[in-house]
Amino acid sequence: MRFSANRLYIEAYEKCPNCGVLLYDNPGARASWVIQNGKTYCSQWCVTWEADRAARRASAPTS
C-alpha cells in the first residue's frame, strides 16, 4: 500500500503477484520484499513457488 506524499490518502494498493498479500509501505516489511522481473513479491518463498508452479504447468501433459 503506497501512501501519498502528505500521507493523507492511499495512492495505490500494491499486492504480491503470487499470494495477493498487501505490501505495506513501511521499512520493517520492506526488508523481506523481493523484486524480480519487475514484480515485487512479499518474500523469496513466493518467488520460488511461482517458478515451481510455472515449471509444473510447462511439464503437465495436455489433453
* pLDDT tens digit sequence for 1-35: 777 888 787 877 889 999 999 888 777 778 888 99
End-to-end CA, the chain: 41
Grid coordinates belonging to 10? 492511499
Band of the pLDDT at 63, cuts 50, 70, 90?
low
More confident call, 60 vs 41: 41
Name the helix (H) or strand (E) containing 34.
strand 34-36
CB 40 within 8 A of CB 16: yes
Start-end of H helices in 1-63: 27-30, 44-59
Angle at 12 between CA 3 and CA 5, to 5 degrees: 25
Per-residue pLDDT at 55 exceeds 80: yes
pTM, full prediction: 0.73
pLDDT band at 54 (very low <50, low <70, confident <90, very high): very high
